[in-house]
Amino acid sequence: MRLHNKVALITGAGSGIGREAALLFAKEDAQVVVCDLNENAGNETVALIDAIGGKATFVRADVSKAADAKAMIEVAEATYGKLNVLFNNAGIFHPADGSVLDTEEDVWDLTMNVNLKGVFLGCKYGIPALQRAGGGSIINTASFVAVVGAATSQSAYTASKGAVLSLTREIAVEFARQNIRVNALCPGPVETPLLAELMSDPARRQRRLVHIPPGRLAQAKEIANAALFLASDESSFVNGSTFLVDGGITAAYVTAE
């Protein structure tokens, strides 16, 4: 069991990568704190974990709110006695996010509050818990667009993920000698509800697929497998990394169909 005796908190665990990671972590013997803004979705994840004999509890959290971020960490310690793994995974992609010329200020602010401030607050309140546990692993979900520009304009999302990558590096250096590792998980496009609306336009979908060497989107479980590695002791010397799981997008200049 790769996460035996570990307590893992996952934000955005009601669907997509977060749900797959929660299930996978539970299968590997972690006690999982499922965090999501959507109570029904979060409780469904807990029920799925219960069904496979795992241990999980749900806490509703808006990661952009300091009180909620603090409370979710407190629930982890109160329920399971410690926190070993923090997966700051919650994120949004606003349908009105586009070019810097067109994106409205409220769309920019909301995206930054969830995608960037949410990671900041998770680390702010989560790191003291990891310190109390003697160390641990933090995984921050960034994106391949933190490394290269997106094929279609999405200025707020891309900027937020680039900032997550920089913040991850900063924190990784600061806390490395306290046995705390911090890595940025950078997925390529993933077949999740978050991307479903964006990819509903066949032309827009094809414009993205042509840049992906395997010619398909990633499955959420494939990204969860990478998160499991970063959460486990197998990655004990992996710190401050830009952990790309993108099918080769960032390695390719151009890909033909």
Q: What is the DSSP string of 95-146?
A: TT---TTT--HHHHHHHHIIIIIHHHHHHHHHHHHHHHTT-EEEEEE--GGG
Counted residue by residue, the chain has a size of 257
Q: Is-catalytic flag, 157?
A: yes
Pick the catalytic residue: 80, 125, 157, 253? 157
Q: Would you say residue 1 lies in a domain? A: no
Residue 256 lies in a domain: no
What mean pLDDT, rounded, does the chain reach? Answer: 94
- The residue range of the domain holding 148 is 7-251
- Mind listing the pLDDT tens digit for each residue in 139-152? 999 999 999 988 78
How far apart are the C-alpha atoms of 127 and 141, rounded to whole Å? 16
Q: Number of structural domains, the chain?
A: 1
105: domain CATH number?
A: 3.40.50.720
Residue of 79, 77, 164 lying closest to 127 (CA atoms)? 77
For residue 176, pLDDT over 90 is answered with yes
Report, in this order, helix, strand and coil percent for the chain, each rounded to 5.
50, 15, 35
Is residue 53 in a domain? yes
**More confident: 212 or 7:** 7
- Flag whether 83 is in a domain: yes
